[in-house]
A and B are shown apart, each in its own frame.
Chain A
C-alpha cells in the first residue's frame, strides 16, 4: 500500500533504493578487484556521496548495473544479483559467490523514509564493506593474476544459486525495513572447492592427499596447470576486473589444497633440502641421479654446499624418537658422499608421513629409490597418535601401490618423485612440521583420555573417596603453611 506514503517520500524511497543498488554493486565489484580500497573522509559534504559514504563509482560497473536493472528497481520477486566467479587461464571457471539484493513484502509503515531509511541503508552499506572482506572469495580475489581472474555478472530477476555447488553457505549482511517492503542483502558462497583439487590431482599425482580448505595459502611457486572443466554459463566483462592485478601464482588457490604449509611442501617428497647456509634456498631436484641408495652420495657431491637434511614432510610428523635421529643427522651437516649407505640410513631415520619404518625399510629401500621415503600410511605408528590419521587420504594409494609393487624398474616411479622443495626461511619448525590438514586430521581422533576410560575411573573414584579423610588430616596439619601461602599472594 503506497497510500500512506506521500508522493515525495515515494520518490525519495525509489531513488534511495536505486542508488543503494548501484552502490552495492560498486562495493562488491571493487572488493573483488584484488587490491586494497582506500577512500578519504571529507568533513564538508560534497552532495554527491550517497549515503554519506565515499564509494567510488567505476563507470563500467555502473553501466553494467544499469543495464541489468533496465530501469526497474529491486522489488518483490525481482532481485538484483551480483555473481562472482573465478576463471582460470585455461578457460575453466567456477562460481564463487552470489550477492543478492532482495525485497520482501514485510513493510514498515511507520518508518521515516528520508531519515531513518537513509541512515539504515548507509549502515547496511558499511556492513557490506565489512562482509565483502570476510567471505572466502576475498582472499582468492586478492591473489588473482595470471593464473586466474575474478569476474562478475549482474543479473536481475530470480536468484540462481545452483552454480555454487553443494553445501554453500549463506551470510546475511542486513535488512532495512521500508514502507514498501524490506530490503535484504545477503551472500551465498561456495564452500565445496574439492572438485578442483581432484582435478588437480589427476594431472599431477601429488604424493600426499589434498587438503581442502577454504582459505588460500600464501603463494608458493608451484606452477601446476589447473583443469577444472566445470560448465559455467556466464557472460562477464573480463576487462572490468582488470585493475591492478598483481602477478601471483594461485596454484594453491585453484587446487584448493589450501594447506597452511608453504605450497611446495605439499607436493614435495619427504626429502627436503635445507638451503645452504651461505646462500639462499637451494632447490634440489631429487631426480638427479638418485638411482639407487648407493648413489646417494652422488646427489650430494655436485652440490657441495648443499646440506642434505631429511626432514619431516609438512603433513607427516614423525615419532619423537625418529626426530631426534633426524635432527642429528640433518641440521646443516653435509652428508659425506663416501658413506652413502649410512647417509641413507641417517636420513631415513627421520621419517615423514609417507616413509615406512626405517628399520624395516632400509634394506628394502635400497632397491627402490625413494622407497625409504615411501608413504608410511600403511604401517601407521600406532603408538603415536600424532603421526598419522587413521584415514589415509585416498590419493596416497596410487602412489603407495606403485611403490610397494615389486617394481624394480624405478624410472617410472622416479618421475613421480620429482619434487622441488621450496623452503622459505622460517617457514616451518624442525620439530613438528605439520600443516593444517594434518593437524585437523590428527585432532579429529585424539586418544581417549585416560581419566575417561571407564574401568579406571570408577576405581580411582573409590580410591579418592577413601583417601579423602587421610588427605584432610594432612591438610589440617599444614594449615599454617597454607595460610602463609595465601598471605604471600595477597
Chain B
C-alpha cells in the first residue's frame, strides 16, 4: 500500500523548538493511540481507556492535549530533546514520526518495517534580538501551531488507511505494546538536520525510540 505522507512546517525560536515539537507529536499520537488491548477467548478483545491531559507551553501561547502516559511522554521528550540538541541556533531540521507495521519474514531475513503514515515536521529556527520580538513570536507561533493542529485533525479525519485490528498473536506487529497504560501504533521518530548553509543533509540519524523486540 502507499504510505501516506504529511508535511508540517513551523518557524520557531530556539527555546520554542521543544514545546512546538511536543505539541505536534503528541497531537498526532493522541489520535494514533488506543487503550491497551485485552484479548479474551474466542478472539474478542476489550480496550482500555485513554486519559488525556492539557499541557500549557511556557514559551509559546499555546495549550495542547496529550495522552496521559508518562512513559510515552518520556519517550517523545527524549527524541525531541535529541533533535533540539542537534539543531544549530539558526539552522533547519526535520523530525519525522513514522507509523509502521511489521511484517514477519522467514529466517534469515529480518522483519520488514512497512510504514503506512509518515508525519514530517520541518523546523526553521530563528534568532530574535529582543524581548519585544520574542513576545510577538510567542503569539505568532501559538497561532501557527493552532493551524497545524487543525491540519493534523483534518488529515486524520479523512479516515484513510489504518492497519487492520490484529489478532492476539499479531498485535505486536501493529501496536507498540510495551507501554503500561496506552497502546500507540508502532512508531519511530527520526530526524535530519540541514546546516545553516543550506547544503544537503549533513547528518542523518536514525533512532528507534520504541520498537517491539525484533527477533
Contact = CB atoms under 8 A, between A and B. Distances in A.
Query: How many interface residues does chain A have, given as a range?
Result: 35 or more
A53 interface: yes
Q: Please report whether the interface of chain B is mostly helix, strand, loop or mixed according to DSSP.
A: mixed
Nearest to A132: B65
Given A134-B146, A215-B143, A42 B51 contact: yes
A109 B61 CA distance: 43
A43 B35 contact: yes
Interface string A31-42: 000001111111
A52 B182 CA distance: 11
Contact of A52 (B49, B61, B157): B49
Given A52-B34, A130-B149, A215-B142, A261 B52 contact: no
A194 interface: no
Most B CB contacts (10 A, CB to CB) among A46, A129, A428 go to A129
Contacts of B153: 127, 130-131, 173-174
Contacts of B38: 44-45
A120 B180 CA distance: 24
B132 A41 contact: no
Contacts of B143: 214-215
Interface string B51-69: 1111110000101110111
Interface string B25-37: 0010011001110
B54 to A, nearest CB: 4
B68 A429 contact: no
A127 B68 CA distance: 15
A43 B46 CA distance: 10
Contact of B63 (A43, A54, A122, A138): A138
B209 interface: no
B161 to A, nearest CB: 13
B130 interface: yes
Contacts of A428: 130-132, 135
A43 B132 contact: no
Contacts, number: 160
Interface stretch (A272-280, A339-347, A433-441): A433-441
Interface in B145-189: 146, 149-150, 152-154, 156-157, 159, 165, 180-182
Interface residues of B, number: 49
A305 B53 CA distance: 47
A339 B30 CA distance: 65
Name the residue in B46, B64, B65 with the highest tally of chain A Cβ atoms < 10 Å from its Cβ: B65
Most buried by A among B27, B52, B67: B52
B126 interface: no
Contacts of A215: 61, 139, 142-143
B53 A38 contact: yes
B180 to A, nearest CB: 6
Contact of B180 (A43, A126, A435): A43
A43 B61 contact: no
A176 B156 CA distance: 11
Contacts of B27: 130
A17 interface: no
Contacts of B138: 260
Contacts of B67: 41
27 contacts: A36-B53, A40-B68, A41-B69, A42-B49, A43-B36, A45-B49, A52-B48, A53-B50, A115-B165, A120-B159, A126-B30, A126-B31, A126-B65, A127-B157, A130-B30, A130-B64, A130-B152, A135-B146, A142-B63, A174-B154, A174-B157, A215-B142, A260-B135, A260-B139, A261-B132, A261-B135, A434-B136
Given A44-B38, A45-B48, A130-B152, 12 more contacts: A36-B63, A37-B54, A40-B51, A41-B49, A133-B63, A173-B157, A177-B159, A213-B139, A215-B143, A260-B135, A428-B131, A434-B136
Interface of B: 27, 30-31, 34-36, 38, 46-56, 61, 63-65, 67-69, 129-133, 135-136, 138-139, 142-143, 146, 149-150, 152-154, 156-157, 159, 165, 180-182
Interface of A: 36-46, 49, 52-54, 115, 120, 122-124, 126-127, 129-131, 133-135, 138-139, 142, 171-177, 213-215, 260-261, 314, 426-429, 431-436, 439
